Each structure stands twice: as structure tokens, then as C-alpha cells.
């Protein structure tokens, strides 16, 4: 009963989001597209942080590599074909994940955080220092790719509403895929690794293979988000894989709540809206140009007072209420 209620409410929400551009201005549609892309990005990181217990501080590398790959591989003035561009771009991200993952997964804990960060910076410097992708200025993607079979155009996302729906479809597909993945035997093994890796190994699981697979899959979905981002703006620069970006997406996961996939989506929505809020000159006036200050303070406050994220908030409040009632009855 409760389950079907949840399914229906998710369905209604999806339909509402799909219809949103009909009633709002372009600005808000673009904002929702941005939120959806980051939600997908955060979702892919949740597979590592929340589901497998691997805190990666370099997830933006995959986002940026895929964004660069789709831009560099596209023909300059005509639309590229999604049929091979999308697998190629995501493939680039996954190959980088496979190579670096084999190295970083040898490390644990803090080392893992720092080494993922360092490998992301390595990718950043490749694009920042060499002429490969226009250096620090970045490059433009003039035409969004389209889905073609021969001369027959199946899907053209140059229209902003089509692109909106396409992004939504990508997000839903990824969510469904990851949710199913977590219910499979593979997902159960990842949960086991998060809870107690030693015991999983003792139970006969080769945990390294599972972790590496999770790392590469997460990179693939992160790459999908990066590709959408490049298509959205038509412009990529090295900052897409900078450590600020990695920190941002990690913060989305934490803000939403570690452990449940949809926590990442909630976190992405919350964080982008928070940024919009602090950047809004209507509320903060001239001070809104210094929004990093208020945003940073908000991060600190959230970490201090909400260690379990937004989805943990209800439990936190309930625990407080229970404590209050039990102390009241004790008196």
C-alpha cells in the first residue's frame, strides 16, 4: 500500500517535471536541466560513496573527460551522430576509470580520497596545459549531436524542450538502472563491501573486482552527465574536472544523504537551489557577488548540524522528539 503510494507519487512528480517547461520561463527550464544533469552526476557518485563506501574526491574527472570527448569527436559545423558519439564519450571516461581505478583501489581510506583527487587533477592539467582541448580557454561544441540511422534522423535534441525531455529520460534511465543494480547480487556484494570488506573477502568474494566494476560503472554514468552538460552549454573548459567540481558533487551526495540513491537527487536539487538562493541579488542585494562566502558558511553549518543529510533529517528530528518526550515522562 505504502509502496504503491510511493510509486504513484514518483510517477506524478516525473509527469509534472516533464510538463514544467510548458508553464515556466526559459530560465527555470534551463535551471531544471542543470539540476537534472547534476542529479545524474551525483547519482553516479552515490554508487561509490553511499553504496560501496568509496569516498572519491575526483569524480569530476569522468564528467569532464566525457564532456571533452564528445566535443572533440563531434564534427565542427554539422551535428554528430549520437549512435557512436555517446558510447565513445562514455567509453573514454570508463577507460580512464579502469586504468586509474586499478591503481587507486589499491589504497584505502584517506589515501583513496587523496589519490582520486590527484588523478582528477592529472586529467585537469592534461587539458589545462596542452593544446589538445584549447588549453584553459576551453572549446565550443557548436551543434548538439543527433541520433541518426543512415540519413534517417531518429532524435534531434537541438530544440530546448526535446533536450529537456532527453535529459529527464537519461536521469530516469540511470536511476532505474542503478536501483536495479543495487537489488542484484552485485549490488548486495557492494553493500557487503561497504559494511565489512574483510568479511566479504572471508566469504569468498574477490572484492577488488567488484569495487573496480563499481568504479567504472560510476564513471560511465558520470560521463553521461558530462556529455549532457557539454550538449547543454555547447562549451567545455578544464574547470569541469577541477577539484571544486568534485567537491561540489560530493557535497550533493552528503547533503542529500549517504546510502540511498535518491538521496543524491535530493542533494542535487537542494544544493543548486541553495546556490541560486545565495546568488540571487533580489535577496542579498549587492552582496550576492560574494555568494561563495555565504555558501561556504552554509556548507560548514550543514556539516555541523546535519551529519546525516536531508534524508536523515526526519530521523534526527524524530530522535530528538523521542528524547524530549522520554525526559518529560521521567520528571
DSSP single-letter state for residue 211: H
DSSP for residue 107? S
Site for other proteins in 115-174 (CB under 8 A): 115, 117-119, 121-122, 125-126, 128-130
C-alpha cell at 181: 543494480
Which of positions 70-109 make contact with other proteins (CB under 8 A)? Answer: 100, 103, 106-109
Site for other proteins contains 36 (CB under 8 A):
no
Binding status of residue 304 toward other proteins by CB under 8 A:
yes
Non-local (6+) Cβ contacts of 199 within 8 A are: 192
| Member of 143, 165, 299, 310 binding other proteins (CB under 8 A) | 299
Contact window for other proteins (CB under 8 A) among 111-119, 133-141, 215-223, 262-270? 111-119
Q: Which long-range contacts (CB under 8 A, 24 or more apart) does 156-159 make?
A: 156/79, 157/231, 158/79
Nearer to other proteins, 28 or 125 (CB): 125
What is the rounded distance in angstroms from the CA atom of residue 189 to the CA atom of residue 299?
Answer: 32
Which x/- pattern, by CB under 8 A, does the window 11-30 give for other proteins?
Answer: --------------------
Q: What number of chain residues touch other proteins (CB under 8 A)? A: 42
Among 36, 39, 42, 49, binds other proteins (CB under 8 A): 49
Cβ count near 129 (within 10 Å): 11
Q: Pick the closer one to other proteins by CB: 1 or 110.
A: 110
Helices within 134-240 (DSSP H only): 160-183, 185-195, 197-202, 207-233
113 binds other proteins (CB under 8 A): yes
Is residue 281 near other proteins by the rule CB under 8 A? no
3-class secondary structure, 152: strand
Sign of CA dihedral 19, 22, 23, 28: positive
Give every CB contact of residue 313 below 8 A, 6+ residues apart in sequence. 306
> Residue 241 CB, nearest distance to other proteins (Å)?
13
* Shortest Å, Cβ 278 to other proteins: 11
Cell numbers representing residue 283 in the block: 535577496
- Residue 161 Cβ vs other proteins, minimum distance, rounded to whole Å: 35
Q: Tell me the C-alpha to C-alpha distance, in Å, between residue 285 and each of 103, 292, 293, 296, 322.
A: 48, 14, 14, 18, 41
Contact 243, 57 (CB under 8 A): yes
Binding to other proteins (CB under 8 A): which residues in 306-325? 307
Which of 183, 290, 318, 321: binder of other proteins (CB under 8 A)? 290
**Interacting residues toward other proteins by CB under 8 A:** 49, 55, 57, 100, 103, 106-111, 113-115, 117-119, 121-122, 125-126, 128-130, 243, 247, 250-251, 254, 258, 290, 292-293, 295-300, 303-304, 307
Amino acid at each position: 500500500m505504502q509502496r504503491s503510494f510511493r510509486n504513484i507519487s514518483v510517477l506524478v512528480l516525473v509527469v509534472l517535471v516533464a510538463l514544467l517547461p510548458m508553464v515556466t520561463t526559459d530560465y527555470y527550464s534551463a535551471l531544471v536541466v542543470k539540476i537534472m544533469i547534476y542529479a545524474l552526476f551525483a547519482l553516479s557518485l552515490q554508487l561509490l560513496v553511499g553504496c560501496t563506501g568509496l569516498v572519491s574526491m575526483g569524480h569530476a574527472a569522468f564528467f569532464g573527460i566525457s564532456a571533452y570527448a564528445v566535443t572533440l569527436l563531434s564534427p565542427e559545423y554539422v551535428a554528430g551522430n549520437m549512435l557512436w558519439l555517446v558510447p565513445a564519450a562514455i567509453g573514454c571516461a570508463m577507460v580512464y576509470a579502469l586504468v586509474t581505478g586499478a591503481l587507486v583501489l589499491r589504497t584505502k581510506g584517506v589515501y583513496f580520497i587523496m589519490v582520486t583527487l590527484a588523478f582528477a587533477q592529472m586529467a585537469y592539467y592534461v587539458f589545462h596545459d596542452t593544446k589538445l582541448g584549447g588549453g584553459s580557454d576551453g572549446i565550443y561544441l557548436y551543434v548538439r549531436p543527433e541520433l541518426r540511422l543512415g540519413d534517417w534522423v531518429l532524435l534531434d535534441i537541438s530544440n530546448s524542450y526535446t533536450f529537456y525531455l532527453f535529459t529527464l529520460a537519461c536521469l530516469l534511465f540511470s536511476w532505474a538502472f542503478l536501483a536495479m543494480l543495487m537489488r542484484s547480487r552485485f549490488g548486495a556484494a557492494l553493500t557487503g563491501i561497504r559494511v565489512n570488506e574483510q568479511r566479504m573477502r572471508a566469504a569468498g568474494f574477490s572484492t577488488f573486482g567488484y569495487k573496480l566494476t563499481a568504479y567504472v560503472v560510476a564513471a560511465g554514468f558520470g560521463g553521461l552527465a558530462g556529455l549532457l552538460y557539454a550538449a547543454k552549454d555547447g562549451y567545455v573548459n578544464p574547470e569541469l574536472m577541477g577539484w571544486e567540481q568534485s567537491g561540489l558533487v560530493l557535497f550533493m551526495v552528503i547533503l542529500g544523504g549517504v546510502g540511498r540513491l535518491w538521496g543524491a537527487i535530493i542533494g542535487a536539487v537542494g544544493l543548486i537551489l541553495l546556490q541560486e538562493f545565495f546568488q540571487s541579488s533580489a535577496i542579498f542585494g549587492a552582496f550576492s557577488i560574494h555568494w561563495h562566502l555565504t555558501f561556504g558558511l552554509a556548507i560548514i553549518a550543514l556539516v555541523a548540524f546535519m551529519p546525516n543529510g536531508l534524508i536523515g533529517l526526519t530521523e534526527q528530528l524524530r530522535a530528538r522528539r523521542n528524547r524530549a518526550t522520554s525526559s518529560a515522562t521521567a520528571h
